Structure 1
Amino acid sequence: MNLIDYFNPINIKSESQGALEYEDTLASQISSLNEGVDLASFNLAILGIEDATNSPFNKGCSEAPNKIRKYLYGLARTSRSLSIIDLGNVKGNSIGDRYLALEEVCKRLLGANIVVLFLGGSQDYLIPFTKILASENKVTLSMIDNKVDYSFDENRFDTYSTISQLDRMLSFDRLNVSVIGAQRYFVGSAQEELFQEKKWSVHRLKDVSIGRIDNTEPIFRDSQIICADASAIQSNFMPSIGSSSVNGFTGLDACKMMWYAGLGSQIKVCGLTECNTQVDDGLKGAMLYGQMAWHFIEGVAHNTWEVPSENSKNYKIYVLRLQEYEVDVRFYKSRLSDRWWCEHSNGHVSSMIACGEKDYQQAKKGRMPNCLSRYR
């Protein structure tokens, strides 16, 4: 497979704008796709999606990739070394063509251990990436959104049915979903009940914003795919989507979440979607997405890819007895990053679950920590 056949290339230097000298910009750190490129030399790949077929009320998100690039590439180089390639914008005469192209591209990039950042398009474009990742292992998908994109109408196929499409496409043991920033009045009772039944999670805006943005870090740390919908951000920061709300994440919180996303130990794919530049007042939304993308890239550059082990001197280990449940819970705290994990066993296999210090404090009081609630 020749990657260049799947993309319309980008002139990176022409996409850069800002006050910095070119050699100080992120653009100077990024390579373009060409015939002789060696993928093995890159850590992260950027690609654009110029399509809004499945976002019927947000058609302008097809124009977002290059406008986001203009605000991204003029920002500073990463503070740590990171090799980046911009593949360009994916080709295709139909949404089916682009889905198939992205599946093939995803196989190639993930096979080379390259993190993918896609810009623009509608949220359903995370489907081909999720499908490929779930073909080998269970995948955890975190969606930053003010609503739950699950439809009980099996004939509906658009951005508002993304989760339901994946649910019907993948076997029951291949998908775990977290929605981050949901606003209660946008979530139906049937959607809530389904998430509880499947032990998926909905994190309401009040629990992950207003000084609580750090609560998102453990969620992202266990996620392979993270996708932001522009509707999750306050309309004064993201005036570029028909379904925006006066409530939502601030620009600062959105950037901090992307930093956490880039630091995630299992991150494979991140998408910034649904930014409608046709109605984007002063291109504030494109500017914010550019800065969010920069924070994600900077997070990847700082990623330490920690994996706790009882044999490692890099972790403090705490074992707490939950008398009510007659079970011991083991916590790991990194001496390098101060991050926490909780060990979970199903009786046969043990796994590490990302958590926060508050989970440890809950266990100290004899309560089942929130990080283990879905396994009960």
Structure 2
Amino acid sequence: MNLSIFFEPLPEDQFGYPENPKSVGGYLAPFVHSFPDWRSAEVVLIGLPEYRGTTGATDLTYQGPNKIRQELYRLLKGTGPWLVMDLGNLLPGISLEDTYLRLKEVIEILVDAGKFPILLGGSHDLTYGQFLGYEHLSETVHLVMVDSQLDMADVEGTTPDQNHLHRILLHDPNYLSGFSHLAHQTYLTDNSTLAALEKLHFELFRVGQVRQQMQEMEPIIRQANLISFDVSAIRFQDAPGQEQANPFGLTGEEACQLCWYAGQNNQLSSFGLYGYRPEFDHRNLTATTLATMVWYTIEGFYQRQNNLDFHSNQFLKFSVGFHDNPNKMLFYKNRQTEKWWMQVDDLSGQKPPLIVPCSYQDYLTAADGEVPNRWILIQGRF
């Protein structure tokens, strides 16, 4: 497949000549004159100048991906080889649905080839196109979404960026193995929606919980195959470039911490950053915040530990017994990274056990004789 037919090149005057050879722009291979050989890359950047799924877009809105790029290219390169290529901006389809399908095809090709695409959106409904890219891949996927609210509006007149999560959850065929939502704000979220998702054994964390238990978010993100991050989850002070700016939300530092966790996740195969509106962005503050988040995602990618052989010497095995119960719960700890995993056995015996990311706190909970909530949720999804 010739991917170049889906993309338009970047402006030469903005991205053709890096200011500093040691900067990110000095190491990237951008699509300016000729389409880069993406097969030799490990990470690929894709701009999504598509905002028909939201309201009030202006001509400046569609410059969002390039505004993020300008700030990203100025940052200094981190550790690792940084085999990163910028494929330019995805050409929108004739209709919004065409764009979803075009994004689906690109994601499917890149993920199937073992590349890690980072998407610079675009309205948040493009998550649907990102999700569709996994439809014909061999395994089910776990989606983690970071947003100030749950985009499941079901009333007349709602825009696609307000109800795309509803489409994902109802998609047929169903290849969604799990869903986690971080940083929603209670006063922006319908209680009945929360209750419905909790009945499906999905994990939902308010912004206050994320902030107070940041380390507990690491295993949540470590189970993701794809992540969708809406800029609305970040407070106005750090990211004013959004349609509905809010004084409450994650700080820029907290958003970067989540991106650091995301990059380190071995099984994460695509990352989408959505909702940036440059027309509201004073002094490019939001573009700088988002560019730094991308930097941490790429830097984390080059800190990945690829050996997950739980029977090797790299892992310590812990067996926890319970009173009046012959069964035991198994935990694994990586000697080098000190990250934890937990084995969850299917109580019906019909499916093989799963070894899933967990936290040290989950181990302590089990050691105190209580069943961790994460074990209960995963057991409910068997």
Q: TM-score, normalised by structure 2?
A: 0.91
Check conservation: 2:65, 2:121, Cα contact below 8 A: yes
1:169 pairs, out of 171, 177, 186, with 171
Alpha-carbon distance, 1:245 to partner: 1.7
Q: Specify the alignment match of 2:274 in structure 1.
A: 273
Q: Specify the alignment match of 2:114 in structure 1.
A: 113
Q: Given residue 343 of structure 2, which amino acid in structure 1 is its aligned partner? A: E
Q: Given residue 352 of structure 1, which amino acid in structure 2 is its aligned partner? A: I
Q: Given residue 194 of structure 2, which amino acid in structure 1 is its aligned partner? A: E
CA pair 73-266 structure 1, distance change in 2 beyond 3 A: same
Q: How does 1:166-315 map to 2 (within 5 A)?
A: 166-172=168-174, 174-210=176-212, 212-309=213-310, 311-315=311-315
Q: Which moved more, 1:57-66 or 1:112-121?
A: 57-66
How many angstroms apart in 1 are the aligned matches of 2:211 and 2:49?
31
Check conservation: 1:142, 1:223, Cα contact below 8 A: yes
Q: Given residue 88 of structure 1, which amino acid in structure 2 is its aligned partner? A: G
Q: Specify the alignment match of 2:153 in structure 1.
A: 151
1:125 pairs with 2:126: yes
Q: Given residue 119 of structure 2, which amino acid in structure 1 is its aligned partner? A: F
Q: Specify the alignment match of 2:366 in structure 1.
A: 363
**Percent identity over paired residues:** 24
Alpha-carbon distance, 1:196 to partner: 1.4
Check conservation: 2:48, 2:65, Cα contact below 8 A: yes
How many angstroms apart in 1 are the aligned matches of 2:324 and 2:132?
40
How many angstroms apart in 1 are the aligned matches of 2:121 and 2:115?
19
1:29 pairs, out of 21, 27, 38, with 27
Q: Which moved more, 1:153-162 or 1:229-238?
A: 153-162
How many angstroms apart in 2 are the aligned matches of 1:17 and 1:220?
36
Check conservation: 1:264, 1:305, Cα contact below 8 A: no
Q: Which moved more, 1:24-33 or 1:319-328?
A: 319-328
Alpha-carbon distance, 1:159 to partner: 0.8
How many angstroms apart in 1 are the aligned matches of 2:37 and 2:294?
24
How far does the alpha carbon of each residue in 1:124-146 deviate from its partner, in whole angstroms, 9 at most, with x for none? 11212212214332211111111
How far does the alpha carbon of each residue in 1:212-266 deviate from its partner, in whole angstroms, 9 at most, with x for none? 3222111111101111111111111111123232111111111111011100121
Q: Specify the alignment match of 1:41 in structure 2.
A: 40
Alpha-carbon distance, 1:61 to partner: 4.7
Q: Which moved more, 1:163-172 or 1:52-61?
A: 52-61
CA pair 363-25 structure 1, distance change in 2 beyond 3 A: same
- For the residue of structure 2 that corresponds to 1:321, the secondary structure is strand
CA pair 203-37 structure 1, distance change in 2 beyond 3 A: same
1:50 pairs with 2:49: yes
CA pair 373-57 structure 1, distance change in 2 beyond 3 A: farther
- For the residue of structure 1 that corresponds to 2:133, the secondary structure is helix
CA pair 259-77 structure 1, distance change in 2 beyond 3 A: same
Check conservation: 1:230, 1:272, Cα contact below 8 A: yes
Alpha-carbon distance, 1:74 to partner: 0.8
Aligned residues: 372
How far does the alpha carbon of each residue in 1:259-296 deviate from its partner, in whole angstroms, 9 at most, with x for none? 11100121111111101110112221111001111111
How many angstroms apart in 1 are the aligned matches of 2:296 and 2:315?
27
How many angstroms apart in 2 are the aligned matches of 1:50 and 1:334?
41
1:79 pairs with 2:79: yes
How many angstroms apart in 2 are the aligned matches of 1:100 and 1:185?
34
How many angstroms apart in 1 are the aligned matches of 2:211 and 2:56?
27
For structure 1, the residue ranges without an aligned partner over 5 or more in a row are none
Alpha-carbon distance, 1:36 to partner: 7.1
How far does the alpha carbon of each residue in 1:15-60 deviate from its partner, in whole angstroms, 9 at most, with x for none? 4899xx6211111211134767443311011000111111225666
Alpha-carbon distance, 1:13 to partner: 7.7
Q: Specify the alignment match of 2:89 in structure 1.
A: 89
Check conservation: 2:106, 2:133, Cα contact below 8 A: no
Alpha-carbon distance, 1:175 to partner: 4.3
Across the aligned residues of Structure 1 and Structure 2, the Cα RMSD in angstroms comes to 2.2
CA pair 13-183 structure 1, distance change in 2 beyond 3 A: same
How far does the alpha carbon of each residue in 1:99-120 deviate from its partner, in whole angstroms, 9 at most, with x for none? 2221221122112100010102
How many angstroms apart in 1 are the aligned matches of 2:35 and 2:279?
36
CA pair 274-312 structure 1, distance change in 2 beyond 3 A: same
Q: TM-score, normalised by structure 1?
A: 0.92
- For the residue of structure 2 that corresponds to 1:278, the secondary structure is helix
Q: Specify the alignment match of 2:353 in structure 1.
A: 350
Check conservation: 2:242, 2:277, Cα contact below 8 A: yes
CA pair 17-209 structure 1, distance change in 2 beyond 3 A: farther
